[in-house]
Structure 1
Amino acid sequence: MLKKAITTLSIILASFAFVTTSYAEHHGMKKDIVDVAAENGSFNTLVAAVKAAGLVETLKGEGPFTVFAPTDEAFANLPSGTVEMLLKPENKDKLVAVLTYHVVSGKVLAADVAKIDSAATVQGEMVMVKVTDGRVMINNAKVIMADVAASNGVIHVIDTVLLPK
């Protein structure tokens, strides 16, 4: 019960942070996908992984990109040692594969989701997209916040790390 309350509070606080960021962007202060994620504070693991994989410049590029961004909590829910293993230099290829599996070329907004049932990731595999009871799912991950604007695309916050086959 306490864990669920803490999780709910974390999601609410993350939502306020994104609302502030989105509001600022509508007033000319555009930030790219990496900057939006880094400044939010809920994506420390994702940002560290993007740096370790050498993908910062790519995700700061022109795009547009759609990023399904797992929260720190989503990374914490992976089996023990998984993140540490992926961050090792000798596992960079695996890390790049996992991270690029979270990215789709182009800007796919929540309104577009009803029109698709899958999307090709930059990694090369497809992710499944479905709407159930008003909740958008990307494979087995719930979208907990959609359409977070960035200057070079859009972020959809997810509650689970997507793992390619």
Structure 2
Amino acid sequence: MAFPKIALASLLTLALICTSSFADECKEASPSKDIVDTAVSAGSFKTLVAAVTAADLVDTLKSEGPFTVFAPTDEAFAALPEGTVASLLKPENKDKLVAILTYHVVPGKVMAKDAMKLKEAKSVEGSTIDIQVKDGAVMIDEAKVVKADIVTSNGVIHVIDKVIMP
């Protein structure tokens, strides 16, 4: 039995709409921007991006990963004692800067719901980061996660309100 032309056209249109909707969902599920590009486009991580650049970690954070990054905002860096950021960005302090930045990174993709079940995580720097839930908020050392689960093509970013130190 043959479909009438109008029914076939309607089915094809419906299939095209469903396929397009599904494609949009897939695009959201696997973002095209990596950790660095996501941080740059957010606009609130200028200091972090400058530090990652000074530490020569851009290529690493653009690589396949996956990585979990606890990303301090510009306000978090501004809360450090005066002159700290400027000092860390100097070439002679690159090793210290690398240590601080890699302390903010955990290998693998750890979503917030999974992080809440952990007590600690080993950072790329090598030290252990304490994780706890305090008053309903996830705490990474003494920093509060203010926005979680920003999914990127090579991991996930959790925004924190303080710079954490190894």
Tell me which of 62, 76, 91 is aligned to 1:89. 91
The residue that corresponds to 2:125 in the other structure is: 123
Aligned equivalents of 1:141 and 1:27: distance in 2?
A: 28
Equivalent residue number for residue 77 of structure 1: 79
How large is the Cα RMSD of the aligned pairs? 1.5
Pick aligned residue for 1:140 from 104, 125, 142: 142
Deviation at 1:113, TM superposition (A): 1.8
Structure 1 vs Structure 2: percent identity of aligned residues?
Answer: 64
Which runs of structure 1 show a deviation greater than 3 angstroms over 4 or more consecutive aligned residues? none
Cα 1:112–1:28, aligned 2, differ >3 Å: closer, same or farther? closer
What count of residue pairs does the alignment treat as equivalent? 142
**After the TM superposition, which of the residue ranges 82-91 and 109-118 deviates more from structure 2?**
109-118
Q: Could you tell me which residue of structure 2 aligns to residue 35 of structure 1?
A: 37
Q: CA deviation at 1:30?
A: 1.1
Normalised by the length of structure 2, the TM-score is: 0.82
Q: Is the Cα contact below 8 Å between 2:116 and 2:138 reproduced in 1?
A: no
**1:91 and 1:130, CA in 2 relative to 1: closer, same or farther beyond 3 A?**
same
Distance in 2, Cα, partners of 1:70 & 1:51: 15
1:66: which partner in 2?
A: 68
Contact 1:73 1:159 in 2 (8 A): yes
How big is the shift at 1:93?
Answer: 0.2
Q: Is the 8 A contact 2:71 2:158 kept in 1?
A: yes
In the alignment, the residues of structure 2 paired with residue 73 and residue 84 of structure 1 have an alpha-carbon distance, to the nearest angstrom, of 15
* Distance in structure 2 (CA, Å) of the matches to 1:33 and 1:115: 24
| Structure 2: tracts of 5 or more residues without a match | 1-24
User: Aligned partner of 1:97: which letter?
Assistant: A
Aligned to 1:153: 155
Q: Could you say which residue in structure 2 is the equivalent of 1:52?
A: 54
**How far off is 1:29 after superposition?**
5.0
* CA distance in 2: counterparts of 1:37 and 1:118, whole angstroms: 24
SS in 1 for 2:56: coil
Distance in 2 (CA, whole Å) between partners of 1:148 and 1:35 is 12
